[in-house]
């Protein structure tokens, strides 16, 4: 079995796009850090991510629990089968790590990897927001990503170091093999009425706190709307 592999590294500054007073919400001004550049040389990886990498929405993105966003390059083959996404390519989801030989079915919460001299640990699945939809002008794209299961996932950084692309990841520890990213997505997005399952996942101590809080609320019978996250200002 092939080892997980970092094909490409990406980092970038926040960019402002669109027109402030456009009639169509999809044309209006917005900011995003998802337009990243490939990094060929070694770059410093800190607890909060790659040096120089930025996020626009610091409330919902970035921070130590979302230091690195990883996405499987194989998913782009599937997205390109959609007519509106024929031009989508590696890096288009705003990932920091474009990876081979790992995906949502093979990666688990708490998986800890040696990444060069750095050590990184899987913290949570990605919950897609409205910004990929704005980038590709597909109003329901966040929902498509969510329903497909091709969400990607985040790493926290346990040990800082310089890192580079085109290296293998060495799995050091897998404390929760039962909680793959795919299963976590199913609990969060498909089996939303299963309170017992929500509580079981919430008890995973290496799952990011924001996920655990949401799941505890669900176990208590609270289910909030996802419209703000998936549609945001794209509707009006």
CATH number of the CATH domain containing 79: 2.40.33.20
Query: What phi and psi values does residue 64 have, to the nearest 5 degrees?
Result: -65, -30
* pLDDT-based confidence at residue 70 (cuts at 50, 70, 90): very high
Query: Chain-wide mean pLDDT for the chain?
Result: 96
pLDDT at 83: 86
Residues 6+ apart with CB under 8 A from 226: none
- pTM beyond 0.85: the answer is yes
Domain that holds residue 77: 5-234
**Is 119 in contact with 112 (CB distance < 8 Å)?**
yes
User: Alpha-carbon distance 147 to 188, whole Å?
Assistant: 11
pLDDT at 1: 74
Place of tokens 């199913």: 186
User: Alpha-carbon distance 203 to 211, whole Å?
Assistant: 11
Per residue in 160-211, pLDDT (tens digit) is 999 999 999 999 999 999 999 999 999 999 999 999 999 999 999 999 999 9
Please count the structural domains in the chain: 1
* pLDDT-based confidence at residue 47 (cuts at 50, 70, 90): very high
User: Alpha-carbon distance 17 to 33, whole Å?
Assistant: 11
pLDDT at 59: 85
Place of tokens 């970038």: 12
């Amino acid at each position: 079995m092939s080892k997980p592999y970092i094909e490409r590294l990406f980092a970038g500054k926040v960019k402002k796009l669109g027109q402030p007073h456009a009639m169509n919400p999809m044309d209006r001004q917005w900011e995003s850090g998802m337009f990243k550049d490939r990094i060929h040389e070694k770059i410093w990886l800190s607890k909060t991510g790659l040096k120089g990498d930025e996020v626009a929405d610091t409330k919902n993105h970035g921070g130590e629990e979302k230091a690195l966003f990883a996405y499987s390059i194989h998913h782009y083959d599937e997205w390109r089968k959609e007519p509106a996404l024929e031009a989508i390519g590696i890096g288009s989801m705003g990932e920091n790590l474009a990876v081979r030989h790992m995906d949502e079915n093979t990666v688990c919460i708490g998986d800890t990897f040696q990444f060069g001299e750095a050590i990184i640990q899987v913290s949570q699945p990605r919950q897609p927001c409205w910004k990929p939809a704005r980038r590709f002008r597909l109003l329901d794209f966040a929902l498509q990503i969510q329903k497909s299961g091709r969400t990607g996932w985040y790493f926290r950084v346990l040990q800082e170091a310089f890192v580079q692309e085109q290296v293998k990841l060495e799995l050091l520890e897998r404390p929760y093999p039962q909680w793959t990213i795919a299963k976590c997505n199913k609990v969060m997005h498909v089996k939303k009425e299963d309170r017992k399952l929500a509580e079981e996942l919430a008890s995973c101590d290496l799952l990011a706190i924001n996920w655990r809080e949401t799941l505890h609320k669900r176990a208590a019978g609270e289910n909030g709307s996802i419209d703000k996250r998936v549609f945001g200002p794209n509707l009006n």
